[in-house]
A and B are shown apart, each in its own frame.
Chain A
Amino acid sequence: MTLNVTDLAIARAGIPVLEGVNFTLEPGRALILRGPNGIGKTTLLRTLAGLQPPLSGSIQGAEDQVAYAAHSDGLKPTLTVTENLVFWASVFGTVDIEPALDAFDLKGLSDRHAGNLSAGQKRRLGLARMLVTGRPIWILDEPTVSLDRNAVDMFASAVRRHLETGGSALIATHIDLGLEGEVLDVGPNKAKPKPIDDFDGGFL
Protein backbone atom coordinates (compact mmCIF):
# COMPACT_ATOMS: atom_id res chain seq x y z
CA MET A 1 0.00 0.00 0.00
CA THR A 2 1.54 3.26 -1.12
CA LEU A 3 0.53 6.44 0.64
CA ASN A 4 0.35 9.37 -1.76
CA VAL A 5 0.02 12.91 -0.47
CA THR A 6 -0.34 15.72 -3.00
CA ASP A 7 -0.40 19.44 -2.30
CA LEU A 8 -1.95 18.99 1.12
CA ALA A 9 -2.99 22.01 3.17
CA ILE A 10 -4.19 21.62 6.75
CA ALA A 11 -5.60 23.83 9.47
CA ARG A 12 -5.63 23.73 13.26
CA ALA A 13 -8.69 25.31 14.89
CA GLY A 14 -9.60 26.98 11.61
CA ILE A 15 -6.18 28.59 11.08
CA PRO A 16 -4.06 27.23 8.21
CA VAL A 17 -0.79 25.78 9.52
CA LEU A 18 0.82 23.81 6.68
CA GLU A 19 0.42 23.99 2.92
CA GLY A 20 1.91 22.36 -0.15
CA VAL A 21 2.85 19.13 1.62
CA ASN A 22 3.86 16.47 -0.94
CA PHE A 23 5.30 13.03 -0.33
CA THR A 24 5.01 9.38 -1.24
CA LEU A 25 5.45 6.58 1.25
CA GLU A 26 6.21 3.24 -0.42
CA PRO A 27 5.87 -0.13 1.31
CA GLY A 28 9.02 -1.05 3.17
CA ARG A 29 10.03 2.57 3.68
CA ALA A 30 10.05 4.84 6.69
CA LEU A 31 9.62 8.59 6.63
CA ILE A 32 10.81 10.70 9.54
CA LEU A 33 8.76 13.84 10.02
CA ARG A 34 10.63 16.82 11.40
CA GLY A 35 9.89 20.45 12.06
CA PRO A 36 9.85 22.94 14.94
CA ASN A 37 7.29 22.69 17.76
CA GLY A 38 3.84 24.00 16.90
CA ILE A 39 4.35 23.84 13.14
CA GLY A 40 1.51 21.34 12.75
CA LYS A 41 3.11 17.88 12.76
CA THR A 42 0.40 16.43 14.98
CA THR A 43 -2.30 18.08 12.84
CA LEU A 44 -0.70 16.57 9.73
CA LEU A 45 -0.65 13.10 11.28
CA ARG A 46 -4.25 13.40 12.49
CA THR A 47 -5.28 14.45 9.00
CA LEU A 48 -3.51 11.46 7.47
CA ALA A 49 -5.18 9.18 10.01
CA GLY A 50 -8.54 10.50 8.80
CA LEU A 51 -9.45 12.26 12.04
CA GLN A 52 -9.80 15.65 10.42
CA PRO A 53 -10.45 16.79 6.88
CA PRO A 54 -7.70 18.56 4.94
CA LEU A 55 -8.23 22.14 3.77
CA SER A 56 -7.21 21.13 0.25
CA GLY A 57 -5.08 18.58 -1.55
CA SER A 58 -5.45 14.84 -1.63
CA ILE A 59 -4.45 11.81 0.43
CA GLN A 60 -4.51 8.51 -1.42
CA GLY A 61 -4.08 5.05 -0.01
CA ALA A 62 -4.71 5.91 3.64
CA GLU A 63 -8.26 4.71 4.09
CA ASP A 64 -8.49 1.67 6.39
CA GLN A 65 -4.73 1.15 6.00
CA VAL A 66 -3.50 3.39 8.77
CA ALA A 67 -2.71 2.57 12.38
CA TYR A 68 -2.29 5.72 14.39
CA ALA A 69 -0.50 6.23 17.71
CA ALA A 70 -1.21 9.58 19.31
CA HIS A 71 0.32 11.26 22.35
CA SER A 72 -2.08 9.38 24.60
CA ASP A 73 -2.17 5.62 24.41
CA GLY A 74 -5.87 4.91 24.87
CA LEU A 75 -5.18 2.55 27.74
CA LYS A 76 -7.68 1.71 30.44
CA PRO A 77 -6.04 1.76 33.88
CA THR A 78 -8.37 -0.84 35.36
CA LEU A 79 -7.76 -3.38 32.60
CA THR A 80 -4.67 -5.59 32.58
CA VAL A 81 -2.00 -5.33 29.91
CA THR A 82 -3.40 -8.42 28.18
CA GLU A 83 -6.98 -7.19 28.36
CA ASN A 84 -6.02 -3.85 26.83
CA LEU A 85 -4.23 -5.51 23.95
CA VAL A 86 -6.88 -8.17 23.40
CA PHE A 87 -9.49 -5.44 23.17
CA TRP A 88 -7.66 -3.56 20.43
CA ALA A 89 -6.82 -6.81 18.67
CA SER A 90 -10.47 -7.77 18.45
CA VAL A 91 -11.52 -4.26 17.37
CA PHE A 92 -9.09 -4.59 14.46
CA GLY A 93 -10.07 -8.20 13.82
CA THR A 94 -6.77 -9.86 14.70
CA VAL A 95 -6.29 -12.58 17.29
CA ASP A 96 -2.69 -13.16 18.26
CA ILE A 97 -1.27 -10.71 20.78
CA GLU A 98 1.80 -12.81 21.67
CA PRO A 99 4.15 -11.23 19.09
CA ALA A 100 3.18 -7.79 20.31
CA LEU A 101 3.85 -8.72 23.94
CA ASP A 102 7.21 -10.22 22.93
CA ALA A 103 8.28 -7.29 20.78
CA PHE A 104 7.96 -4.84 23.63
CA ASP A 105 8.98 -7.21 26.41
CA LEU A 106 5.59 -7.04 28.13
CA LYS A 107 5.29 -10.77 28.92
CA GLY A 108 6.24 -10.30 32.54
CA LEU A 109 3.72 -7.51 32.96
CA SER A 110 0.81 -9.14 31.18
CA ASP A 111 -1.37 -9.52 34.29
CA ARG A 112 -0.62 -6.08 35.73
CA HIS A 113 -3.26 -3.39 35.55
CA ALA A 114 -2.30 -0.73 33.06
CA GLY A 115 -2.84 1.89 35.77
CA ASN A 116 0.03 0.42 37.77
CA LEU A 117 2.58 0.63 34.96
CA SER A 118 5.28 3.26 34.76
CA ALA A 119 5.08 5.91 32.06
CA GLY A 120 7.61 4.09 29.89
CA GLN A 121 5.85 0.74 30.33
CA LYS A 122 2.55 2.35 29.35
CA ARG A 123 4.16 3.77 26.27
CA ARG A 124 5.51 0.32 25.36
CA LEU A 125 2.00 -1.08 25.70
CA GLY A 126 0.64 1.74 23.56
CA LEU A 127 3.18 0.96 20.85
CA ALA A 128 2.52 -2.78 21.11
CA ARG A 129 -1.03 -1.88 20.12
CA MET A 130 0.29 -0.94 16.67
CA LEU A 131 1.33 -4.55 16.10
CA VAL A 132 -2.14 -5.95 16.82
CA THR A 133 -3.86 -3.61 14.37
CA GLY A 134 -2.54 -5.54 11.39
CA ARG A 135 -2.52 -2.28 9.42
CA PRO A 136 0.32 -1.68 6.92
CA ILE A 137 0.87 2.07 7.37
CA TRP A 138 1.97 3.15 10.84
CA ILE A 139 1.56 6.78 11.78
CA LEU A 140 3.40 7.55 14.99
CA ASP A 141 3.36 10.84 16.86
CA GLU A 142 6.41 11.24 19.12
CA PRO A 143 6.52 7.50 19.86
CA THR A 144 9.63 7.55 22.01
CA VAL A 145 8.45 9.96 24.70
CA SER A 146 9.29 8.54 28.14
CA LEU A 147 11.04 5.48 26.65
CA ASP A 148 14.52 4.54 27.94
CA ARG A 149 17.39 3.70 25.57
CA ASN A 150 16.63 0.00 25.74
CA ALA A 151 12.94 0.53 24.91
CA VAL A 152 13.79 2.88 22.04
CA ASP A 153 15.86 0.03 20.55
CA MET A 154 12.90 -2.33 21.02
CA PHE A 155 10.72 0.15 19.19
CA ALA A 156 13.23 0.67 16.39
CA SER A 157 13.54 -3.05 15.78
CA ALA A 158 9.75 -3.44 15.82
CA VAL A 159 9.55 -0.75 13.13
CA ARG A 160 12.36 -2.45 11.17
CA ARG A 161 10.52 -5.79 11.25
CA HIS A 162 7.34 -4.03 10.17
CA LEU A 163 9.15 -2.49 7.18
CA GLU A 164 10.72 -5.83 6.26
CA THR A 165 7.27 -7.42 6.05
CA GLY A 166 6.08 -4.80 3.58
CA GLY A 167 4.72 -2.20 5.98
CA SER A 168 5.61 1.45 6.06
CA ALA A 169 5.90 4.05 8.80
CA LEU A 170 5.58 7.79 9.16
CA ILE A 171 7.20 8.91 12.40
CA ALA A 172 7.27 12.36 13.95
CA THR A 173 10.27 12.37 16.26
CA HIS A 174 13.17 14.51 17.39
CA ILE A 175 15.58 11.72 18.28
CA ASP A 176 17.68 9.49 16.06
CA LEU A 177 16.10 6.06 15.88
CA GLY A 178 18.83 4.54 13.74
CA LEU A 179 16.31 3.78 11.01
CA GLU A 180 17.20 4.10 7.35
CA GLY A 181 14.49 6.45 6.16
CA GLU A 182 14.08 9.71 4.34
CA VAL A 183 13.49 12.84 6.36
CA LEU A 184 10.52 15.06 5.63
CA ASP A 185 11.04 18.54 7.07
CA VAL A 186 7.77 20.46 7.04
CA GLY A 187 9.39 23.70 8.21
CA PRO A 188 9.28 25.29 4.72
CA ASN A 189 5.60 24.33 4.37
CA LYS A 190 4.46 26.77 7.03
CA ALA A 191 1.25 28.35 5.76
CA LYS A 192 1.63 31.98 4.72
CA PRO A 193 -0.97 34.38 6.06
CA LYS A 194 -3.48 35.50 3.47
CA PRO A 195 -3.55 39.17 2.40
CA ILE A 196 -5.51 41.29 4.83
CA ASP A 197 -8.12 42.46 2.34
CA ASP A 198 -9.41 39.03 1.53
CA PHE A 199 -12.55 39.25 3.62
CA ASP A 200 -14.34 36.32 2.02
CA GLY A 201 -14.96 32.92 3.50
CA GLY A 202 -12.82 32.66 6.57
CA PHE A 203 -13.26 36.36 7.50
CA LEU A 204 -9.75 37.26 6.45
Chain B
Amino acid sequence: MIALLLRDLKLSFRAGGGFGLGLAFFLIVTVLVPFSVGPQSALLSTIAPGVLWLGALLACLLSLDRLLALDWEDGSLDLLATAPLPLESVVTIKALAHWITTGLPLVLVAPVLGVLLNLPVPGFSWLVISLLIGTPALSVIGTFGAALTVGLKRGGLLLSLLVLPLYVPTLIFGAEVARRGATGMETSAPVLMLAGITAASVALLPFASAAVLRINLR
Protein backbone atom coordinates (compact mmCIF):
# COMPACT_ATOMS: atom_id res chain seq x y z
CA MET B 1 0.00 0.00 0.00
CA ILE B 2 2.77 2.37 0.93
CA ALA B 3 4.47 1.40 -2.33
CA LEU B 4 1.45 2.49 -4.34
CA LEU B 5 1.22 5.78 -2.47
CA LEU B 6 4.92 6.49 -2.95
CA ARG B 7 4.71 5.60 -6.63
CA ASP B 8 1.76 7.91 -7.19
CA LEU B 9 3.46 10.76 -5.36
CA LYS B 10 6.68 10.20 -7.30
CA LEU B 11 4.79 10.12 -10.59
CA SER B 12 3.04 13.34 -9.75
CA PHE B 13 6.26 15.18 -8.93
CA ARG B 14 8.13 13.91 -12.00
CA ALA B 15 7.98 15.66 -15.36
CA GLY B 16 4.49 15.73 -16.82
CA GLY B 17 3.00 14.53 -13.56
CA GLY B 18 0.80 17.57 -13.28
CA PHE B 19 1.82 18.62 -9.80
CA GLY B 20 1.32 22.36 -9.42
CA LEU B 21 -1.17 22.64 -12.26
CA GLY B 22 -4.03 22.72 -9.79
CA LEU B 23 -2.21 25.34 -7.74
CA ALA B 24 -1.58 27.52 -10.78
CA PHE B 25 -5.22 27.19 -11.76
CA PHE B 26 -6.30 28.22 -8.25
CA LEU B 27 -4.04 31.25 -8.42
CA ILE B 28 -5.28 32.31 -11.84
CA VAL B 29 -8.96 31.93 -10.94
CA THR B 30 -8.42 34.01 -7.83
CA VAL B 31 -6.61 36.71 -9.79
CA LEU B 32 -9.36 36.81 -12.39
CA VAL B 33 -12.11 37.39 -9.83
CA PRO B 34 -11.30 41.07 -9.12
CA PHE B 35 -11.07 41.67 -12.87
CA SER B 36 -14.61 40.38 -13.28
CA VAL B 37 -16.34 41.86 -10.22
CA GLY B 38 -14.34 45.05 -9.75
CA PRO B 39 -11.60 46.09 -7.33
CA GLN B 40 -13.73 47.39 -4.41
CA SER B 41 -12.14 45.87 -1.34
CA ALA B 42 -15.40 45.71 0.63
CA LEU B 43 -17.03 43.60 -2.08
CA LEU B 44 -13.96 41.40 -2.44
CA SER B 45 -13.75 40.68 1.26
CA THR B 46 -17.42 39.70 1.31
CA ILE B 47 -17.07 37.18 -1.48
CA ALA B 48 -13.50 36.04 -0.66
CA PRO B 49 -14.39 32.91 1.39
CA GLY B 50 -16.81 31.64 -1.25
CA VAL B 51 -14.53 32.43 -4.17
CA LEU B 52 -11.59 30.69 -2.52
CA TRP B 53 -13.67 27.62 -1.77
CA LEU B 54 -15.01 27.48 -5.31
CA GLY B 55 -11.53 27.98 -6.74
CA ALA B 56 -10.15 25.16 -4.60
CA LEU B 57 -13.01 22.90 -5.64
CA LEU B 58 -12.46 23.56 -9.33
CA ALA B 59 -8.71 23.07 -8.95
CA CYS B 60 -9.44 19.67 -7.37
CA LEU B 61 -11.74 18.80 -10.23
CA LEU B 62 -9.09 19.69 -12.79
CA SER B 63 -6.76 16.81 -11.94
CA LEU B 64 -9.42 14.13 -11.44
CA ASP B 65 -9.47 12.80 -14.98
CA ARG B 66 -5.80 11.79 -14.66
CA LEU B 67 -6.40 10.09 -11.35
CA LEU B 68 -7.29 6.64 -12.71
CA ALA B 69 -7.30 7.17 -16.47
CA LEU B 70 -3.49 7.03 -16.78
CA ASP B 71 -3.34 3.72 -14.91
CA TRP B 72 -6.19 2.47 -17.05
CA GLU B 73 -4.47 3.37 -20.32
CA ASP B 74 -1.12 1.75 -19.56
CA GLY B 75 -2.71 -1.39 -18.12
CA SER B 76 -1.59 -0.81 -14.52
CA LEU B 77 -5.17 -1.02 -13.27
CA ASP B 78 -5.62 -4.51 -14.72
CA LEU B 79 -2.43 -5.60 -13.04
CA LEU B 80 -3.33 -3.92 -9.75
CA ALA B 81 -6.69 -5.67 -9.82
CA THR B 82 -4.93 -9.04 -9.97
CA ALA B 83 -2.48 -8.04 -7.22
CA PRO B 84 -2.99 -9.02 -3.58
CA LEU B 85 -4.14 -5.47 -2.80
CA PRO B 86 -7.95 -5.13 -2.62
CA LEU B 87 -9.33 -2.54 -5.03
CA GLU B 88 -10.91 -0.71 -2.10
CA SER B 89 -7.41 0.00 -0.81
CA VAL B 90 -6.22 0.94 -4.28
CA VAL B 91 -8.88 3.62 -4.70
CA THR B 92 -8.37 4.88 -1.15
CA ILE B 93 -4.63 5.23 -1.73
CA LYS B 94 -5.27 6.92 -5.06
CA ALA B 95 -7.61 9.40 -3.36
CA LEU B 96 -5.02 9.99 -0.64
CA ALA B 97 -2.32 10.61 -3.23
CA HIS B 98 -4.65 13.02 -5.01
CA TRP B 99 -5.29 14.85 -1.77
CA ILE B 100 -1.59 15.10 -0.92
CA THR B 101 -0.67 16.41 -4.36
CA THR B 102 -3.72 18.63 -4.93
CA GLY B 103 -5.84 19.21 -1.83
CA LEU B 104 -3.12 19.83 0.70
CA PRO B 105 -1.19 22.36 -1.43
CA LEU B 106 -4.46 24.22 -2.04
CA VAL B 107 -5.03 24.43 1.71
CA LEU B 108 -1.53 25.82 2.16
CA VAL B 109 -1.72 28.55 -0.49
CA ALA B 110 -5.31 29.56 0.24
CA PRO B 111 -4.30 32.10 2.93
CA VAL B 112 -1.92 33.81 0.49
CA LEU B 113 -4.71 34.12 -2.04
CA GLY B 114 -6.93 35.31 0.81
CA VAL B 115 -4.67 38.34 1.09
CA LEU B 116 -5.26 39.12 -2.58
CA LEU B 117 -9.02 39.11 -2.00
CA ASN B 118 -8.98 41.15 1.24
CA LEU B 119 -10.20 38.24 3.32
CA PRO B 120 -11.03 39.61 6.81
CA VAL B 121 -8.41 38.65 9.39
CA PRO B 122 -10.53 36.22 11.47
CA GLY B 123 -11.40 34.42 8.25
CA PHE B 124 -7.89 33.10 7.57
CA SER B 125 -7.81 30.40 10.21
CA TRP B 126 -11.36 29.29 9.40
CA LEU B 127 -10.61 29.17 5.69
CA VAL B 128 -7.64 26.89 6.32
CA ILE B 129 -9.60 24.74 8.79
CA SER B 130 -12.58 24.37 6.47
CA LEU B 131 -10.38 23.47 3.49
CA LEU B 132 -8.36 21.07 5.60
CA ILE B 133 -11.51 19.25 6.68
CA GLY B 134 -13.34 19.51 3.36
CA THR B 135 -10.74 18.78 0.66
CA PRO B 136 -10.35 15.07 1.59
CA ALA B 137 -14.06 14.66 0.80
CA LEU B 138 -13.47 16.37 -2.56
CA SER B 139 -10.69 13.88 -3.38
CA VAL B 140 -12.71 10.82 -2.33
CA ILE B 141 -15.87 11.91 -4.16
CA GLY B 142 -13.76 12.79 -7.17
CA THR B 143 -12.18 9.33 -7.14
CA PHE B 144 -15.66 7.86 -7.35
CA GLY B 145 -16.38 10.02 -10.40
CA ALA B 146 -13.04 9.08 -11.94
CA ALA B 147 -13.82 5.39 -11.40
CA LEU B 148 -17.20 5.81 -13.09
CA THR B 149 -15.73 7.41 -16.20
CA VAL B 150 -12.39 5.60 -16.37
CA GLY B 151 -13.23 3.51 -19.42
CA LEU B 152 -14.43 6.41 -21.51
CA LYS B 153 -12.47 8.30 -24.07
CA ARG B 154 -12.87 12.03 -23.46
CA GLY B 155 -14.56 11.29 -20.15
CA GLY B 156 -13.34 14.56 -18.64
CA LEU B 157 -16.43 16.64 -19.30
CA LEU B 158 -18.77 13.87 -18.18
CA LEU B 159 -16.65 13.50 -15.07
CA SER B 160 -17.30 17.14 -14.18
CA LEU B 161 -21.01 16.74 -14.85
CA LEU B 162 -21.16 13.74 -12.52
CA VAL B 163 -18.90 15.04 -9.77
CA LEU B 164 -20.04 18.65 -9.43
CA PRO B 165 -23.56 17.85 -8.12
CA LEU B 166 -21.95 15.46 -5.64
CA TYR B 167 -19.72 18.33 -4.46
CA VAL B 168 -22.71 20.51 -3.51
CA PRO B 169 -23.04 19.56 0.19
CA THR B 170 -19.29 19.79 0.78
CA LEU B 171 -19.13 23.18 -0.90
CA ILE B 172 -22.12 24.53 1.02
CA PHE B 173 -20.84 23.54 4.43
CA GLY B 174 -17.18 24.31 3.64
CA ALA B 175 -17.88 27.78 2.32
CA GLU B 176 -20.34 28.35 5.17
CA VAL B 177 -17.60 27.68 7.71
CA ALA B 178 -15.24 30.08 5.95
CA ARG B 179 -17.95 32.70 5.53
CA ARG B 180 -19.13 32.55 9.12
CA GLY B 181 -15.54 32.55 10.32
CA ALA B 182 -14.78 35.67 8.29
CA THR B 183 -17.74 37.54 9.77
CA GLY B 184 -17.04 36.33 13.30
CA MET B 185 -20.13 34.13 13.56
CA GLU B 186 -20.53 30.81 15.31
CA THR B 187 -19.03 28.04 13.14
CA SER B 188 -19.39 24.83 15.11
CA ALA B 189 -22.53 23.55 13.35
CA PRO B 190 -21.21 23.71 9.77
CA VAL B 191 -17.79 22.47 10.91
CA LEU B 192 -19.43 19.38 12.36
CA MET B 193 -21.52 18.83 9.23
CA LEU B 194 -18.45 19.25 7.02
CA ALA B 195 -16.45 16.83 9.16
CA GLY B 196 -19.37 14.40 9.05
CA ILE B 197 -19.52 14.50 5.26
CA THR B 198 -15.78 13.96 4.98
CA ALA B 199 -15.76 11.11 7.49
CA ALA B 200 -18.70 9.35 5.87
CA SER B 201 -17.32 9.83 2.35
CA VAL B 202 -13.88 8.53 3.30
CA ALA B 203 -15.41 5.54 5.09
CA LEU B 204 -18.04 4.51 2.54
CA LEU B 205 -17.29 5.85 -0.93
CA PRO B 206 -14.18 3.69 -1.57
CA PHE B 207 -16.49 0.66 -1.62
CA ALA B 208 -18.62 2.27 -4.31
CA SER B 209 -15.52 3.36 -6.24
CA ALA B 210 -14.02 -0.14 -6.10
CA ALA B 211 -17.32 -1.72 -7.19
CA VAL B 212 -17.55 0.67 -10.11
CA LEU B 213 -13.93 0.05 -11.05
CA ARG B 214 -14.51 -3.72 -11.06
CA ILE B 215 -17.46 -3.21 -13.40
CA ASN B 216 -15.32 -1.07 -15.69
CA LEU B 217 -12.43 -3.55 -15.74
CA ARG B 218 -14.72 -6.39 -16.73
**Are A and B in contact, CB atoms below 8 Å, in the complex?**
yes
Residues of A within 8 A of B (CB): 46, 49-53, 64, 66-68, 70-76, 78-79, 83, 86-88, 90-93, 129, 133
Smallest CB gap from A87: residue in B: B7
Q: Cβ of B3 and Cβ of A87 under 8 Å apart?
A: yes
Known contacts A73-B75, A74-B79; can you find 9 more A-B pairs with CB under 8 A?
A50-B82, A52-B218, A71-B75, A72-B74, A74-B74, A74-B75, A83-B7, A91-B4, A133-B83
Q: How far is the CB of A94 from chain B (nearest CB, A)?
A: 11
Secondary structure class of chain A's binding surface, majority of residues: loop
4 pairs of A and B residues whose beta carbons are closest in the complex: A72-B75, A90-B3, A74-B76, A78-B14
Q: Give the contacts of B77-132 with A (CB-CB under 8 A).
A: 78-85
Q: In the complex, what residues of A have CB within 8 A of residue B82's CB?
A: 49-51, 66-68
Residues of B within 8 A of A (CB): 2-4, 7, 10-11, 14-17, 71, 73-76, 78-85, 217-218
Q: In the complex, what residues of A have CB within 8 A of residue B78's CB?
A: 46, 49, 51, 68, 70, 72, 74
Kindly state the separation between the CA atoms of A148 and B4 in the bound complex, as whole angstroms.
32
Q: In the complex, what residues of A have CB within 8 A of residue B84's CB?
A: 64, 91-93
Which listed residue (B15, B79, B217) contacts A78, Cβ 8 A?
B15
Q: In the complex, what residues of B have CB within 8 A of residue A70's CB?
A: 75, 78-79
Q: How far is the CB of B76 from chain A (nearest CB, A)?
A: 4
Q: In the complex, what residues of A have CB within 8 A of residue B17's CB?
A: 78
| A78-B75 contact given A52-B218, A92-B84, CB 8 Å threshold | no
Q: How far is the CB of A176 from chain B (nearest CB, A)?
A: 26
Q: Cβ of B3 and Cβ of A91 under 8 Å apart?
A: yes
Q: How far is the CB of A89 from chain B (nearest CB, A)?
A: 8
Kindly state the separation between the CA atoms of A133 and B78 in the bound complex, as whole angstroms.
14
Q: In the complex, what residues of A have CB within 8 A of residue B14's CB?
A: 78-79
Q: Cβ of B83 and Cβ of A91 under 8 Å apart?
A: yes
Which listed residue (A50, A53, A75) contacts B74, Cβ 8 A?
A75
Smallest CB gap from B70: residue in A: A76
| A78-B74 contact given A51-B82, A52-B218, A91-B4, CB 8 Å threshold | no
